[in-house]
């Protein structure tokens, strides 16, 4: 139960064991979160006797499967609600059906999976209504035991919209079959013959509540229930899809897999918590800018105001670049572009263009003190100092590559803000040098005139400002 239990969702769990306690003794204390049910029979026999609780989802987990670390049950349920899916399943690393393998999705923002006409039941999540519909199919078809073929008929008979989540995967840890494959094949032929060739089953009519019929439950109501309920699912843990024309008999040779198609992709929606967090993150640099402008204009603490304005502006710029690069789709299931040189280059280019624009604007004004007049290099010493400053600037880029290399893949906005604060703190070294210089001069009883000292740009110090002796 690593997946569901670790995420804090309120699960009701039942483990169906198809052998008696002598053949397969179990220490029930090791399954404290689940109820162990000794029940003879095969896979679908357990589904017949299972009674879902009032929770809106039912998850089933076969005993030969394991979830890979990229699986998140909470994201799966949110994706179902967002895309109005009645069944969802992670992609399958080693399935006989190629449709279940992770697919290369189109380069479309937020595409994380495919809407298909078939999903193999291994580790899957059903909506409660679709699972009850499937139960009625199984109950009225006594030949169904091993479950082969049920995957084909479920979407059509229950009107279910099903999908494969390509950004998550599951794996089979036990390869050998513990049942008769030939018998399962014969059962599948019988299932398809009875349920498809005879004109189709009418699921749901054995249940008194009309909500078990998909055709009678409004789509909006189903989506609202899935999105607003706080309950999670009932879990069944027990001991295999392609474009079909359901108006014609399905032809299988049972040697080669049938070709399946997928009709589109589905997306993931940011949760309410993500939205609130994002606005909280934006509030920090906003407040810094506001306070910085107030302090700068009041002339009481101009240096502190300069630092706050600098921190707020750089935080906004870093968050913007993070948002742009993190939405870049590298491949299916991989979103975010780790491009440190591109990040630094974009930042410098944008900053340079903004600076040039401001300089041009300042040259057009007639207000005294607002025009920027560049100072030319008048000596070889000034030229050497400028070249040395440029060299230090180039050497300073490399440490920032190590810092920015993870900007793209991080999902949480707070990661970018933490790095923005770190970079702003590092760049405030000029203030520390200024204070040390002044303190040392005072301690030596030397009269010091502290000239105007401005905090440097993002990457370098402004030369020519500091504390000087006279």
Tens digit of each residue's pLDDT (9 = 90 or more) over 237-295: 433 223 333 333 333 333 333 344 555 555 555 444 455 556 777 788 888 888 888 88
In the chain, domain spans: 2-267, 274-469
- How many CB atoms sit inside 10 A of residue 25's CB? 8
**Quick one: which of 115, 99, 14, 16 has its CA closest to 58?**
14
Output the pLDDT for position 350: 80
Residue written as token pair 């280019």: 349
**Quick one: which of 321, 323, 353 has its CA closest to 340?**
321
Q: Residue 337 — very low, low, confident or very high, per pLDDT cuts 50/70/90?
A: low
Q: What are the structure tokens assigned to 171, written together?
A: 């794996």
Measured N-to-C along each axis, helices 150-157 and 181-192 cross at an angle, to the nearest 10 degrees, of 30
Output the pLDDT for position 200: 46
**Following CA atoms 389, 393, 399, 402 in sequence, which dihedral angle do they give, to the nearest 10 degrees?**
180
Q: Is the pTM of this model over 0.75?
A: no
Residue 229: CB partners within 8 Å, gap ≥ 6? Answer: 55, 56
Classified by CATH at the fold level, domain 2-267 comes out as Spore Coat Polysaccharide Biosynthesis Protein SpsA; Chain A (3.90.550)
CA distances from 167 to 70, 72, 180, 215, 296 (A): 8, 10, 33, 31, 49
Angstrom distance (rounded) from CA 313 to CA 293: 12
CA distances from 302 to 195, 308, 333 (A): 80, 10, 48
Q: What are the structure tokens assigned to 30, written together?
A: 């090791």
CA distances from 140 to 102, 157, 229, 262 (A): 34, 13, 31, 29
Over the stretch 400-421, which tens digit does the pLDDT of each residue have? 555 555 444 443 344 444 455 5
Phi, psi of 166 (to 5 degrees): -80, -15
Residue written as token pair 């399946």: 260
Residue 422 in this model has a pLDDT that exceeds 80: no
| Strand pairing class (111-116; 34-38) | unpaired
Residue 228 in this model has a pLDDT that exceeds 80: no
Q: What are the structure tokens assigned to 4, written together?
A: 């569901």
Give Cα 54 distance to the centre of its chain. Answer: 28
Dihedral sign, Cα of residue 224, residue 102, residue 168, residue 153? positive
């Amino acid at each position: 139960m690593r997946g569901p239990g670790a995420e804090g969702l309120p699960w009701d769990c039942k483990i169906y064991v198809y052998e008696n306690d002598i053949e397969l003794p179990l220490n029930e204390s090791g399954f404290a979160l689940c109820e162990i049910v000794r029940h003879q029979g095969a896979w679908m026999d357990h589904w017949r006797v299972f009674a879902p609780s009032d929770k809106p989802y039912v998850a089933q987990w076969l005993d030969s499967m394991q979830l890979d670390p990229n699986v998140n049950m909470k994201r799966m349920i949110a994706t179902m609600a967002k895309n109005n899916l009645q069944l969802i399943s992670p992609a399958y690393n080693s399935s006989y059906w190629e449709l279940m393998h992770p697919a290369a999705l189109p380069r479309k923002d937020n595409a994380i999976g495919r809407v298909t006409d078939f999903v193999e039941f291994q580790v899957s999540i059903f909506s409660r209504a679709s699972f009850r519909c499937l139960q009625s199919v199984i109950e009225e078809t006594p030949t169904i035991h091993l479950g082969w073929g049920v995957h084909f008929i479920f979407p059509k008979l229950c009107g279910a919209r099903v999908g494969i989540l390509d950004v998550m995967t599951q794996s089979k840890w036990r390869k050998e079959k513990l049942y008769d494959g030939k018998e399962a094949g014969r059962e599948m032929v019988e299932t398809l013959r009875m349920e498809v060739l005879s004109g189709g089953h009418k699921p749901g009519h054995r249940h008194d509540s009309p909500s078990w019929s998909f055709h009678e439950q409004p789509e909006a109501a189903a989506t609202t229930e899935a999105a607003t309920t706080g309950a999670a699912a009932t879990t069944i843990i027990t001991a295999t899809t392609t474009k079909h024309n359901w108006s014609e008999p399905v032809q299988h040779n049972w040697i080669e897999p049938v070709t399946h198609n997928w009709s589109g992709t589905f997306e993931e929606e940011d949760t309410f918590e993500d939205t609130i967090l994002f606005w909280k993150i934006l509030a920090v640099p906003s407040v810094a800018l506001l306070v910085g402008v107030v302090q700068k204009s009041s002339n009481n603490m101009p240096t502190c105001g300069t630092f706050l304005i600098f921190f707020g502006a750089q935080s906004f710029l870093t968050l913007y670049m993070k948002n742009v690069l993190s939405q870049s789709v590298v491949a299916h299931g991989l979103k975010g572009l780790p491009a440190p040189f591109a990040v630094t280059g974009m930042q410098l280019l944008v900053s340079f263009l903004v600076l040039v624009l401001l300089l041009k604007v300042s040259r057009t004004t007639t207000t005294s003190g607002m025009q920027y007049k560049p100072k030319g290099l008048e000596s070889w010493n000034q030229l050497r100092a400028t070249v040395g400053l440029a060299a230090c600037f180039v050497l300073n880029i490399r440490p920032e590559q190590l810092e920015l290399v993870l900007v793209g893949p991080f999902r949480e906005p707070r990661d970018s803000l933490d790095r923005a604060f770190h970079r702003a703190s590092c760049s405030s070294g000029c203030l520390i040098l200024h204070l040390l210089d002044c303190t040392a001069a005072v301690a030596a009883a030397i009269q010091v005139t502290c000239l105007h000292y401005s905090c440097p740009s993002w990457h370098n110090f402004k030369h020519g400002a500091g504390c000087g002796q006279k």
